[in-house]
Amino acid sequence: MATNEEIIDMLRTAYSMELETVMNYLANSTNLDGVRAEEIKKSLAADVTEELSHAQQLGQRIKQIGGLVPGSLGVKLGNQAQPTENTTDVVGVIKSVIAAESAACTQYKKLIRATDGEDYVTQDLCIQLLKAEEEHLVLFKGFLKEYTQA
């Protein structure tokens, strides 16, 4: 079992990951060009709201268990693939989404294990967030199949 401070640190990491995802999805949903990009842009734009909601839920939990939600200087960014200058690289965007969603799933699984048997509320939150991230992951893996078929 992790200590409360370790759990808060893991939650802050997840919070930072969600905020970085919001920024990258917002950028990609705006910057992508081309007819083939429209479905991806729509999906990313819709995901911005959901990912922001994840960050809000994580922030509330951090506060509930005695931590403080970090401001902009405390958020750790730069761990995800950044939007590129190539605004028609739909496959690159899809791959970066898959990487971000996979990393989120890994972080939530880590939290689920760390809270098992001790902090059921945090564990339940992370299970729900894992479910949502896995749904995104499956969706974008499907997009990748479609976009990479010859």
**Among 68, 65, 75, 67, which residue's Cα sits nearest to residue 23?**
75
73-102 average pLDDT score? 93
Q: Which domains does the chain have, with CATH numbers?
A: 4-68+87-148 (1.20.1260.10)
Rounded CA-CA distance 16/75 in Å is 5
Q: What is the pLDDT of residue 39?
A: 94
pLDDT, the chain, mean: 95
1-12 average pLDDT score? 95
Low-confidence winner among 26-35, 75-84, 112-121 (lowest mean pLDDT)? 75-84
Residue 150 pLDDT > 80: no
Residue 68 pLDDT > 70: yes
Q: What is the pLDDT of residue 81?
A: 85
Contacts of the segment 94-97: beta carbons below 8 A, 24+ positions apart: 94/40, 94/140, 94/143, 94/144, 94/147, 95/144, 96/24, 96/28, 97/25, 97/28, 97/44, 97/136, 97/140
Share of residues in the chain with pLDDT > 90 (%): 91
